[in-house]
Amino acid sequence: MNQAVNPKPTITDVARAAGVSKGLVSFALNDRPGVSARSRDHILRVARELGYRPSVSARSLSTSTSYACGLVIARDPEIISADPFFPSFIAGVERVLVAEGRALVLSVVGGDEHEDAVYRTLAADKRVDGVFLTDLRRDDPRIPLLAELGLPAVTLGRTPGSPFPAVALDDTPGTAAATQHLIEQGHRRIAHVIGPLRMMHAQRRHAAFAATMAAAGLDAGLVEETDFTAAHGAAATARLLDLANPPTAIVYDNDPMAIAGLGVAHERGLRVPGDLSITGFDDSEIARYVYPALTSVRSDPQLWGEAAARSLLAAIADRDPVADVDLPPAHLVVRASTGPVSTGPSPSGPAPTGARA
Partner DNA sequence: CTGAAAGCGCTTACAG
Footprint of DNA on 6-25 (CB under 7 A): 8, 10-12, 19-25
CA 275 – CA 186 distance, rounded (Å)? 12
Candidates 146, 190, 222, 262; binder of its own copies (CB under 8 A) is 262
Kindly list the distances between the CA atom of residue 357 and the CA atoms of 46, 343, 347, in Å, as whole numbers in the listed order: 79, 16, 11
Does 37 contact DNA by CB under 7 A?
yes
Contact predicate 258/194, CB 8 Å: no
Does 238 contact its own copies by CB under 8 A?
no
Q: Which does 216 bind (CB under 5 to 8 A by kind): its own copies, DNA, none?
A: none
Q: Which does 30 bind (CB under 5 to 8 A by kind): its own copies, DNA, none?
A: DNA
The DSSP-derived string for 323-348 is PPEEEPPPEEE--TT--PPP-SPPP-
Candidates 118, 168, 197, 327; binder of its own copies (CB under 8 A) is 118
The DSSP-derived string for 219-279 is ----EEE--S-HHHHHHHHHHHHHSSS--SEEEESSHHHHHHHHHHHHHTT--TTTT-EEE
Candidates 36, 41, 98, 139; binder of its own copies (CB under 8 A) is 98
Name the residue nearer to DNA (CB basis): 9 or 246: 9
**CB of 131 vs DNA, minimal distance in Å:** 22
Which amino acid makes up residue 207? Answer: A
For 169, half-sphere exposure in the C-beta direction (CA atoms, 13 angstrom radius) is 23
Name the residue nearer to DNA (CB basis): 19 or 144: 19
Does 59 contact DNA by CB under 7 A?
yes
Question: Between 57 and 86, how does the x/- string for binding to its own copies read (CB under 8 A)?
Answer: xx-xx--x-x-x--------xxxxxxxxxx
Which amino acid makes up residue 332? Answer: L
Q: What is the CA radius of gyration of the chain?
A: 26
Q: Which does 234 bind (CB under 5 to 8 A by kind): its own copies, DNA, none?
A: its own copies
What residues make contact with DNA under the rule CB under 7 A? Answer: 8, 10-12, 19-27, 29-30, 32-39, 52-55, 58-59, 61-63
